Amino acid sequence: MMSPHHPPTPHDDAPAPIRFPGRKADEDGRADALLVGLASRGDDEAFMALYRRHKNFVMNVARRFTRDESEALDVLQDTFAYLLKRLPDLRLTAKLSTFLYPAVKNIALTIRRKDRGVALTPSHDRALDDAPESPLSVDIKALIANLPEGQQEVLLLRFVDDLSLREVAAALGIPVGTVKSRLHQAIATLREDPRTRALFDMDDSG
Amino acid sequence: MNDSTNTTPNDEASRGDALPDPALPVRAVIALREAYGANRDLPASTDAVVLRQLFERRRREDARRRTMWSLQFAAVLGLVATVVYIGNRGRDEARTIAAATPADRAAPERAATLAESGPMSAPRSASRVETFGAAAQPAGVTILDAYRLARKVDGKGFISSGERVPDATEVDEIVARVVESDVDSLRSAAEGDGFLDARPESRAEVSRSAPTRVVSYDIKLDTGSRALAAFQIELELSAPDTAQVTGFWMRGGSHPALQRAPFFNKSIAKQLKAKPGTRVRIPLANFDTGEDLPVGDQQVARVVLSVVGAGHPGLTARLVVAAGPEAVPIPAAVRVVERGDAEVKKDEKK
C-alpha cells in the first residue's frame, strides 16, 4: 500500500509523509505562514488553501474527541471560524496544525460537554464509518483507549496525523523529550500486547 | 498525566531526550490510520457548505465589527463635542465673571457699608410714579461700579492702592451695560442731550392731520440731607393706543453736577415709534465725580417727548440705586413730575 516514490526513512525525525490511496497530495506548495499572511489580508483563496490542507487533520482530531460525524463537522466549522477570527493578528511560527490542535480539542470538548445533558439519539451513537471495522482496528482502538491520555495524544498525533516530534510538542505545549518518552511507552504497550504484537513481528521500523 | 505518576514532567522530558526517536513499523502505522479513519476525505459538497458558512459568518462578524466601530466613533465624537462645549461654556463664564469683576469685587465692601448705613426705607420693588426710599444694594453691575472706576480715573479714588487703574473705556463699558446700550451709541448720545426722530408712522389709529404735542417730564430724586453722586433709575414709558411718540429727548438735571444728560439707550426711539400703545423700559443712570454735589430734592433728568395723536403718554420711574460720594447706596425717593404739554405748529417743527 505504500507509495514507491516515498520510501520510509526510519531514523529521520521528520520522515517524508506516507502517501495512501485516496489521500490527496497538497497541491498548494506555499508554506502555512505565507498563506496565513495572505489570508489575514483578505485573500480568500489563501484561506481556502489552508482549509483544504488542514481540513482532514481537523476532522480526524474532531472525530476522536466527539465520536460523532455531525459533531465533528460542527467542530470543523467552528475551528476554521476561530482561525478566521484570529487571522488578522495571527503570526504563525510553526505548522498551522500546532495552532489548530488545541483549538479543535477545546471546541470538541466544549461541544461534548454541551451535549452531555441531551438524551442520546441514534445519531449520537452512530458509528463514524458506516463500513464495518476490521477486528484489528477494533483491537487497536480498544488497546489505545486503555492507554493514558497523554500517551494516546502523542501516539495519534505522531502516527495518525503525521506530525513531527517537534510539531506534536508544540501542539501539546510540552517538551520534545516528553513526547518521545510517552511515545516509547505507548509503543512498548502495543508491542507487548498479544492483539497487536503481530504488527511488530516483522519489525520494519528499524 | 497518568503515565508519569512517579516522575516529574522534567524527569519525563530528560528521560525522553536520552531516547532515540520512536518509530512504528509501517504496517502498524497503516493499521492505526485505518482504525482511526485517517484516510477519509471530506466530500467536495461538504467543503462547499462549510466554506460558504464560514465566509457568511465572517461577513456578519465584519458587519458587527463595523457597527461597533461606528458606535465607538460616534461615542468618541460625542465625548469630544461635550468636552469642547464644556470648555467653551467655561470660557464664556470666565469672560462674564471678568466683565462683572468691578461689581463683584466691590460686593463685600457694599455689604459692609450697608450694614453701617442701617435698614433701607423702601423695598426695591416699589415702582409707582412716586417711589420713596432708597433701593437696597442691587444685584449685578450698577452705575456705582462705573462711578468707582471713574473716581479712580479722576485720581480721587478711594479704592485701595495697588489695584490696576482702569481707563475711561472701561467706565464706558460698564455704563453701557447698566443702561443696556452699546458703547458707541452711549458716547454719541452723550454728545447731545437727546435726539429727535419726528416722523410719525402712517397708521390708522393716528391721524396724519393730528397736531404734534410736546410733553415733558421731570425726574426728581430726593436724597434728604445726603449728597447725590450717582443714581440709576428705570423708567417705563407707555404710549397711548391713540397716539404715537415721534420724538424723544433726554436732558440733564438742574444741578450743575448733573446737568449733563444722563446715560440711556438711544435706540429706544425705534421701539417707541414702532406702534401706538408701545411700552418701553428705559434704564437711566448718571454720576459725577466732582465735589460739588446736589443735596435734597432736585431734578436729575428731564424726558421730553413729541407726540402725535390724542392721548397722553404714561411715565413711571423706579429707583434702582442712589449713592453719595462714598459710592455707597443712600436712601432716596424718586418721582415723576409732568410739566404739561404744548402744541407745536407744523411750520415750527423745522
Instruction: To the nearest 10°, report the CA torsion of B228, B229, B233, B237.
Output: 90
Closest-CA distance, A114 to chain B, in angstroms, reads 21
Cα B299–Cα B302–Cα B307 angle in degrees, nearest 5: 150
Q: Give the pLDDT band of residue B107 (cuts 50, 70, 90).
A: very low
- pLDDT score of A40: 86
- pLDDT score of B81: 92
Residue of chain B with shortest Cα separation from A13: B21
Quote ipTM for the complex.
0.72
Contacts of B17 in chain A (CB under 8 A): 175-177, 180
Which tens digit of pLDDT belongs to each residue from B254-269?
898 888 888 888 777 6
DSSP B10-69: HHHHHHHHTSPPP---HHHHHHHHHHTTTT----HHHHHHHHHHHHHHHHHHHHHHHHHH
Closest-CA distance, B38 to chain A, in angstroms, reads 6
Instruction: Decide if A148 and B12 are in contact by the 8 Å CB cutoff.
Output: no
Residue of chain A with shortest Cα separation from B47: A52
What is the percentage of chain B residues whose pLDDT exceeds 70? 67
Q: Which residues contact B72 (CB under 8 A, 6 or more apart)?
A: none
Neighbours of B154 (CB within 10 A): 10
Which tens digit of pLDDT belongs to each residue from A128-145?
445 567 788 888 888 888
- pLDDT score of B99: 52
Nearest CA to A140 among B4, B1, B24, B5? Answer: B24
Report H helices in A96-164.
96-115, 122-125, 135-145, 149-155
Q: Which residues contact A174 (CB under 8 A, 6 or more apart)?
A: B9, B13
Cell triple for B152 = 479712580
Task: Give the Cα separation of A163 and A154 in Å (integer).
Answer: 9
Answer whether A155's CB lies under 8 Å from A146's CB: no
Neighbours of B60 (CB within 10 A): 10
- pLDDT score of A14: 47
Residues of chain A with pLDDT under 50: 1-16, 18-25, 118-129, 206
Which tens digit of pLDDT belongs to each residue from B293-340?
999 999 999 988 888 877 778 889 999 999 998 888 999 999 999 886
Task: Report the amino acid identity of residue B45.
Answer: S
Contacts of A81 in chain B (CB under 8 A): 54, 57-58
Greatest Cα pair distance in chain B: 136
Could you tell me which residues are beta bridge partners of residue B309?
B243
Answer whether B139's CB lies under 8 Å from B129's CB: no
Task: Give the Cα separation of B331 and B224 in Å (integer).
Answer: 8
Strands B243-251 and B295-309: antiparallel
Cell triple for A153 = 495524544
- Which string of b and e fits B249-263 if b means at least 16 CB within 10 Å? bbbbbebebbeebbb
Task: Give the Cα separation of B151 and B327 in Å (integer).
Answer: 9
Contacts of B50 in chain A (CB under 8 A): 51, 55, 73, 76-77, 80
Q: Is the pLDDT of residue B346 over 60?
A: no
Q: Give the pLDDT band of residue B36 (cuts 50, 70, 90).
A: confident
Query: Does B25 touch chain A if contact means CB atoms closer than 8 Å?
Result: yes
Task: Give the Cα separation of B193 and B259 in Å (integer).
Answer: 10
- Which string of b and e fits B62-81 if b means at least 16 CB within 10 Å? eeeeeeeeeeeeeeeeeeee
Residue of chain A with shortest Cα separation from B20: A180
Nearest CA to B300 among B268, B255, B337, B333? Answer: B255
Task: Give the Cα separation of B276 and A88 in Å (integer).
Answer: 77
Closest-CA distance, A118 to chain B, in angstroms, reads 25
Closest-CA distance, B79 to chain A, in angstroms, reads 29
Which tens digit of pLDDT belongs to each residue from B151-206?
776 665 554 445 555 666 788 888 888 888 887 777 666 554 444 444 444 444 45
Instruction: Decide if B13 and A137 are in contact by the 8 Å CB cutoff.
Output: no
Greatest Cα pair distance in chain A: 54
Q: Give the pLDDT band of residue B134 (cuts 50, 70, 90).
A: very low
Most confident range (mean pLDDT) of A193-197, B40-44, B215-219 is B215-219
Average pLDDT of chain B is: 74
Cell triple for B131 = 417711589
Mutate to test the interface with B, among A159, A168, A176, A202 (most CBs of B within 10 A): A159
Cell triple for A194 = 498479544
- pLDDT score of B297: 92
Contacts of B42 in chain A (CB under 8 A): 55-56, 59, 76
Of A134, A182, A199, the CB nearest to B28: A199
Query: Which B positions 43-102 lie with beta carbon below 8 A of chain A?
Result: 46-47, 50-51, 53-55, 57-58, 61
Q: Give the pLDDT band of residue B137 (cuts 50, 70, 90).
A: low
Q: What is the mean pLDDT of residues B91-118?
A: 49
Q: B332: which DSSP letter?
A: -
DSSP B191-212: HSSEE--------TTS-TTSPE
Instruction: Decide if A128 and B53 are in contact by the 8 Å CB cutoff.
Output: no
Answer whether A100's CB lies under 8 Å from A83's CB: yes
- pLDDT score of B342: 63
Task: Give the Cα separation of B1 and A149 in Å (integer).
Answer: 7
Written in H, E and C, the secondary structure of B211-222 is: CEEEEEEEEEEE
Task: Give the Cα separation of A58 and A97 in Å (integer).
Answer: 8
- pLDDT score of B140: 81
Answer whether B15's CB lies under 8 Å from B8's CB: no
Q: Give the pLDDT band of residue B25 (cuts 50, 70, 90).
A: confident
- pLDDT score of A67: 75
Which of helix, strand or coil describes residue A163? coil
Task: Give the Cα separation of B114 and B105 in Å (integer).
Answer: 15
Tally C-beta pairs within 8 A across A and B: 167
Higher-scoring residue by pLDDT: A76, B129: A76
